[in-house]
A = this chain, B = another copy of it.
Amino acid sequence: MKTQLQKARAGVVTPEMHTAAEGEPISAEDLCSLIARGRAVLPKNAVHDFASIKAIGEGLKTKVNANLGTSGECADMAAEEKKLAAALRAGADSIMDLSTGGDLDQLRWMFLKKSPVMLGTVPIYGLAAKMLRHGRPMHDITPEELFREIELQCSQGVDYITVHCGITTQSVQRLEHFKRIMPCVSRGGSMHMQWIRANGQENPLYQDFDALLDIAEKYDVTLSLGDGFRPGCIEDSLDGAQVEELMILAELAGRAFERGVQVMIEGPGHVPLNEIKTQIQLQKKLCRNAPFYILGPLPTDIAAGYDHITSAIGGAVAGAAGADFLCYVTPAEHLALPAEDDVYQGVMAARIAGHIADLSKGLPGSADKDRKMAHCRQTLDWEGMIKSALDPDLVRSRMQIAEDGRTCSMCGKLCAVKTSEETQALQAES
Contacts and interface: CB of A to CB of B under 8 A. Distances in A.
Contacts of A139: 426
A25 interface: no
B352 A426 contact: no
Given A194-B426, A274-B320, A377-B233, A410 B334 contact: yes
Interface stretch (A26-34, A104-112, A202-210, A295-303): A295-303
Given A73-B402, A316-B313, A189 B412 contact: no
A375 B139 CA distance: 27
A19 interface: no
Nearest to A274: B360
Interface string A185-203: 1110111011001100000
Q: DSSP majority for the A interface?
A: helix
Contact of A398 (B189, B335, B391): B335
Residue among A139, A316, A371 with the highest chain B CB neighbour number at 10 A: A316
Interface string A379-402: 000000100111100110011101
A414 interface: yes
Contact of A185 (B74, B304, B370, B417): B417
A235 B335 CA distance: 39
A378 interface: yes
Contacts of A170: none
Contacts of A299: 316, 356, 359-360
Interface string A216-240: 0000000000000000111110000
A52 B131 CA distance: 56
Contacts of A357: 273
A278 interface: no
A286 interface: no
Contacts of A426: 139, 194, 197-198
Interface string A395-430: 100111010000011111111110110110011000
Interface of A: 71-74, 100-101, 125, 128-129, 132, 138-139, 181-187, 189-191, 193-194, 197-198, 232-236, 272-274, 299-306, 308-310, 312-313, 316-317, 320, 331-337, 348-349, 352-353, 355-357, 359-362, 367, 369-371, 373-375, 377-378, 385, 388-391, 394-395, 398-400, 402, 408-417, 419-420, 422-423, 426-427
Given A304-B385, A305-B390, A333-B410, 17 more contacts: A72-B413, A132-B413, A132-B414, A185-B417, A190-B417, A190-B423, A198-B426, A234-B367, A235-B367, A300-B352, A300-B370, A302-B370, A302-B390, A306-B349, A313-B352, A332-B398, A336-B410
30 contacts: A72-B412, A125-B414, A129-B414, A181-B375, A182-B377, A183-B378, A185-B377, A187-B416, A194-B422, A233-B370, A233-B373, A233-B374, A234-B370, A273-B356, A300-B355, A300-B359, A300-B370, A304-B389, A306-B349, A306-B352, A306-B391, A313-B313, A313-B316, A313-B353, A317-B317, A333-B410, A334-B385, A336-B400, A336-B409, A337-B409
Listed from nearest, the 6 A-B pairs whose CB atoms lie closest are A233-B374, A72-B412, A273-B360, A190-B419, A305-B394, A336-B400
